[in-house]
Chain A
């Protein structure tokens, strides 16, 4: 059909044009990891400190411009995160859009986390670790029972149910999570493995809110963590006022996709 052939040609032409435009915006090179001990927070910027015991969860409001530091001050752990827009919790973290629009599942300093509405929820403004998992999700009662003796042990699925309910939400509101300090490696045929050397005591990540949020965190062992014992360490969380983003803010300018995401934030008044 000539109509069909011309439609395909037109679509392909538009794709090539979009691709040229996207590639024409040279992405900024992302920096290496933040130094583990080199970035103390200014005491005057600190709003709240929380220590999440191993196996537990925590929820917090996080206003635009505030940030959370997640710190492995007490030894290795993994921290699963979900986030909802405070103004409309049906807008929530979308890991699939996050990895798809940024062309990578490797989340680290300079990357951003997207909602399902094409807007940026959180920016990774500092990160000493660079080994985080968006693909596998958290533990549940069954995965813990299969892995560890002497249970039951607390798990991320139930933690996120509790966090959602205490935020006035329910299980239908729980999106898939992103787990920080979870060095999952994707191998041939998509096989997943764990690189224990990918995180260490002292690692931290700073996440800046780009809209008013409700954030839930779960501090449980990642389901791919091969450690035989259930022994998550406490995680140190600090809520602080982030420095105001400069015009050349890394997360806001690193890629054309981030630029357009922030344009969507601005259009929504965030």
Chain B
């Protein structure tokens, strides 16, 4: 089987860096947490109409559950399936807590944390390459980030559960631009206080 797989793309994304790539319908994108406990903030945009993009709430609504894992249909704001999670060695990913930003860091951790790199900065840099703006940066998926939601609504980012080499795979159902912020947050446990590289591959099938 292995020799029939065509890898189209294979890149290590450095710690704290932004990244984006085209994934065509039928192709599979694999995101690997190389060293473990690394949150990967991820957005998707329809390649030929970027006003259609990932919708966390539609994704949660359609599956009737709050976490992302194998079988999750990744939905757009137009109610269409963008990708499907086809493999997941980790088991649970968040899509309700959004991305860190300089601005929200001041609220969460104090004004002294304003001038630290953040996911919103990465997203802004990356989506600007496609002519998009802050208007297009919506709440994202946090692969490998553990945010249990309690019955009383309580919600907190706790220690990551991903081990070195854990991965998630998604098959695209339409041509999408995948935009990633390899999370630089050092003020909570989501990256084990030590942001590390991830590996992104795209293959046929």
Contacts and interface: CB of A to CB of B under 8 A. Distances in A.
Contact of B153 (A105, A116, A172): A105
B108 A135 contact: no
Interface of A: 4, 7-8, 11-12, 14-15, 18, 21-22, 90, 94-97, 99-101, 103-107, 114, 116-119, 134-138, 140-143, 157, 170-177, 185-187, 189-192, 223-224, 257, 260-261, 263-264
Interface string B32-63: 00000000000000000001000111101100
Contact of A99 (B55, B60, B96): B96
B139 A176 contact: yes
Given A11-B194, A171-B77, A176-B55, A136 B61 contact: yes
A261 B104 CA distance: 9
Closest 4 CB pairs of A and B: A96-B98, A137-B57, A106-B153, A118-B103
Interface residues of B, number: 53
Contacts, number: 157
B7 interface: no
A136 B155 contact: no
Contact of A104 (B51, B79, B153): B153
Contact of A7 (B120, B135, B194): B194
Given A8-B193, A190-B65, A192-B65, A90 B134 contact: yes
Contacts of A103: 154-156
Majority SS of interface residues in chain B?
A: loop
Given A15-B187, A90-B133, A101-B104, A143 B61 contact: yes
A100 B57 CA distance: 15
B76 to A, nearest CB: 11
B144 interface: no
Contact of A135 (B55, B60, B105, B120): B60
Contacts of B101: 97, 116, 118
B67 A189 contact: yes
Contacts of B105: 118
Given A157-B79, A186-B149, A264 B107 contact: yes
Given A8-B194, A143-B61, A157-B77, 12 more contacts: A118-B101, A135-B149, A136-B57, A137-B57, A137-B58, A140-B58, A141-B79, A173-B135, A187-B151, A189-B65, A260-B106, A260-B110
